[in-house]
Amino acid sequence: MEKIIGRHEEQVVLDAILKSTDAELMAIYGRRRVGKTFLIKNYFESRLAFEISGIHHGSLEQQLENFGISLSAATGLKIAAPSSWLEAFEMLKTYLAPLIKKQKKVIFLDEFPWLNTPRSGFLGAFENFWNSWASMQKNLIVVLCGSAAAWMIRNVLNNRGGLHNRVTRKIKLLPFTISEAGDFFKERKVNLDQYQVLQLYMAMGGIPQYLKEVKPGQSATQAIDASCFNPAGFLYDEFKNLFHSLFDEAKGHMAVIRALAKKGKGLNRNEIIKAAKLKSGGGTTQLLEELTESGFISPYIPFGRTANDTIYRLTDEYSLFYLHFIDGATIKGTGSWATYSAGSSWKSWGGFAFENICIKHEPQIKRALGIGNVHTTSSMWRYHPQPGQKGAQIDMLIDRQDNCINICEMKFSLAPYEITKAYAKDIQNKIMVFRTATHTRKTLFVTMVTTYGVKNADNYAGLVQSEVTMEALFK
């Protein structure tokens, strides 16, 4: 068994399943290449009695033939493809019955949504299998896995038919944190300092399959060049493959992603509809839900507002990087990233990418501030000024139960960040506008979250109350 990096909370759930004295039906979902299959197959390695992975856009005949091949591999016998899914699950019952009399066993249905081809009767046959037999087998664990997160939620977790309230456990598998990414590199003998890991995370995110592209001895620049700008590189055209593998009608999803990539501060629903040229209605709501559940975008309710004012931001690091640098790139091949990273667009992208990473790692920032156990809510805030007024935007507010608010300023730089007079004035303006517009009486703390700290905070006494460096994100 290969070592499982991180995934501590998930392993607690899996351990509880193994110790359970009842039949278990678990759903695990998360975006493509996030490590769902690796986690299940490695954790349950000695218990796996049967596994099958759906074929993307495969026909009913192909899926059933695949089932026959999978059952043959499990039994060691030559088994013909079943004629229907009802017959397939009857065959599976016959195979499993003697095995689960002795010990707990696992069956793993990977890419579950792909098995459910149109008019195939798959979902109904599985519902019958679980309700009529599997749910009564105390030594049986059934794991349903899918990359199409929204489909899994709609058809498995929120099923209104035969699977209604049948799922006993669920795991939404998220990308690695930056700390887990660092541990992943160490396990693979890739020795990089925190700033190098941060650069790679900004381009690839915490997707294990992407991080595998980094080879021992490569710098972050070399790895990004090889995987993203070489036409043979793994991430050169992953963007198109990614969305078409997750969504049947990916055009609208990609239009939203492209629209949000142009607006780092985010867009509300109506702004998205206009920018992506979508039709207003339930279709847009479902599309945004699908992108959210798949981990590409994140909704944020601005401070003091309601869900109707939700702002959506593109928070998938790879998509943000791809659309800024790889898509339509005029410079390709060796040395591309070194050239791009010397330009001005790199600074703009770097700022947004670092902000997203900080927002995702809010628990680590809270711990660094010594408020890990204080109840908080995080949000963003922006003020659209009236004529003659100044606007303001705060990308991360930590609203605390102890009557304080941390206003987080996130700055990505190659060296300790230097506060200029203009920037100090901008911070003071944010504080004034925020207090005036929100009428808050809470104590406001300005918190600088940077790569290497602040160079000259003492020059502006009382302006910055606390600092957090990138080192805290790795803890």
Residue-level pLDDT at 402: 95
- Helix and strand numbers (H, E) in the chain are 21, 13
Q: What are phi and psi of 144, to 5 degrees?
A: -105, 125
Residue-level pLDDT at 430: 94
Contacts of 222 (CB under 8 A, 6+ apart): none
Residue-level pLDDT at 329: 75
Please check whether residue 28 is in contact with residue 243, taking contact to mean a CB–CB distance below 8 angstroms: no
Residue-level pLDDT at 344: 77
* Local structure of residue 233 (DSSP, 8 states): S
- Could you give all domains of the chain from N- to C-terminal order, each with its CATH number? 8-172 (3.40.50.300), 178-236+329-353 (no CATH), 240-323 (1.10.10.10), 361-473 (3.40.1350.10)
Residue-level pLDDT at 222: 93
Alpha carbon distance 380, 334 (integer Å): 39
Please check whether residue 51 is in contact with residue 22, taking contact to mean a CB–CB distance below 8 angstroms: no
Contacts of 189 (CB under 8 A, 6+ apart): 216
Q: Which amino acid is at 407?
A: I
Q: Which residues pair with 454 in a beta bridge?
A: 417
Residue-level pLDDT at 149: 87
* Token pair listed for 411: 């700055």
Residue-level pLDDT at 346: 82
Alpha carbon distance 473, 148 (integer Å): 29
Residue-level pLDDT at 318: 96
pLDDT by residue (tens digit) across 177-215? 999 999 999 999 999 999 999 999 999 999 999 999 999
The single residue listed with the structure tokens 């006993």 is 168
Residue-level pLDDT at 212: 97
Alpha carbon distance 19, 101 (integer Å): 16
From residue 438, give the alpha-carbon distance in Å to each of 51, 230, 431, 441, 463.
55, 50, 11, 9, 20
Cα dihedral: 194, 198, 200, 206 (round 10):
110
β-strands 140-146, 24-29 pairing? parallel
Residue-level pLDDT at 220: 95
CA nearest to 304, candidates 222, 380, 226: 380
Q: Which residues pair with 110 in a beta bridge?
A: 53
Residue-level pLDDT at 448: 97
Contacts of 319 (CB under 8 A, 6+ apart): 239, 257, 261, 296
Residues of the chain short of pLDDT 50, as ranges, are: none
CA nearest to 453, candidates 466, 464, 469, 465: 469
Contacts of 198 (CB under 8 A, 6+ apart): 178, 354, 357, 451, 470, 473
* Token pair listed for 353: 């990418």
Residue-level pLDDT at 50: 98
Residue-level pLDDT at 280: 78
Angle at 111 between CA 110 and CA 112, to 5 degrees: 85
Residue-level pLDDT at 73: 97
Residue-level pLDDT at 107: 98
Q: Is the pTM of this model over 0.85?
A: yes
